[in-house]
Structure 1
């Protein structure tokens, strides 16, 4: 799979989780990419999903999403 195709797949996974009502809770970066923890809280339970992001483009993408989420970007 090309790097661009991998980025598209990772971006789609991020967008899917956001559409389902998840928000980025935390990010842990290391030499093999970034582990992005998404959280969806409801009155009954809190659901956690962790996504391993490998491409630099997808890390930039979720960084922008995180900035928007914290109201630093409109």
Structure 2
């Protein structure tokens, strides 16, 4: 899998959670990537491993937007 394909797959997963109204509640950094901790208003929780730098930039932008939302 190319680097772009991996990024596109990770971005798609992140966007899918966001469309389902999940919010990012935490980020844990590790040697293999960052673990996103997500929570749905209904109580469901999920974690997602993000390995590519571009996908990390994407979720960082979403996190900033989330923190600025009223």
**Shorter-chain TM-score: which interval?**
over 0.9
Q: For the aligned residues, what is the CA RMSD?
A: 1.1
TM-score for the superposition, normalised by structure 2 = 0.94
- Runs of 4+ that moved beyond 3 A: none
Determine if the alignment matches structure 1 residue 69 to structure 2 residue 66.
yes
Instruction: Return the structure number with greater helix share.
Output: 2
Q: Which has the larger radius of gyration?
A: 1
TM-score for the superposition, normalised by structure 1 = 0.89
Q: Which runs of 5+ in 2 are unaligned?
A: none
Structure 1 distance, partners of 2:48, 2:30, is 13
Q: Which runs of 5+ in 1 are unaligned?
A: none
| Count of aligned pairs | 69
Partner of 1:50: 47
